[in-house]
Amino acid sequence: MKSRILLAMPLLFVALGLSACKKGAEVVKPVEAFGTYDSEPDWNDSTKLVNLGYQEAQGKRIFYLYCVWCHADATPAGPSNRGNLTPVPPLLNDGEKLNGESDEFMQNIITLGGSALGKSAMMPPYGKTLSAGEIQAVIAFTRAIAQPPYQRPGRPGSQYTAK
């Protein structure tokens, strides 16, 4: 009798060990992202959706509060103020125009306004209204929606692949 128990012990161990390896029952499916705060339809092709990360989504919020009036063709109020301005401000997704500008330039013109950089005073300064982080967020949003898409300059070609 005793020998049977002794024999069973190691088997029990094995069984326990195996069961501990078992993974959780179900895998959670990712939820589909809708056209909300953390995504933005491609301005040039509304069937495409650009998903936004945390910073870009904060940028979107700030853009639609402060910048949309002059830097987009459609505003929450309907018509855009763009046409009232000379020079006509670029659409903020205009990659042809803005992809070439460095983050520093963008940060400067938004913080100090156009006149401080020898551009039009119609671009107001936001340095005393928005925090540096908020301005970085708007820039991140600009980069995310840029058409043609924005490529970070001098990004080191990554040889590493995950897993």
| Contacts (Cβ under 8 Å, ≥6 apart) of 86 | 120, 122
Residues in 84-113 that interact with another protein by CB under 8 A: 84-85
Tell the smallest beta-carbon distance from residue 96 to another protein (Å): 22
Rounded Cα distance between 39 and 134, Å, is 18
Residues in 73-102 that interact with ligand HEC by CB under 6 A: 85, 87, 89-90, 97, 101
**b/e map 130-153, b = 16+ CB within 10 Å:** beeebbbbbbbbbbbbbbeebeee
Rounded Cα distance between 86 and 88, Å, is 5
Q: Which of 57, 91, 109, 137 binds ligand HEC (CB under 6 A)?
A: 109
Per CB under 8 A, the segment of 42-50, 97-105, 125-133 that binds another protein is 125-133
35 binds, among ligand HEC, another protein, none (CB under 5 to 8 A by kind): another protein
Is residue 92 within 8 A of residue 73, CB to CB? The reply is no
Binding site for ligand HEC (CB under 6 A): 66-67, 69-71, 85, 87, 89-90, 97, 101, 106, 109-110, 114, 119-120, 122-124, 126, 138
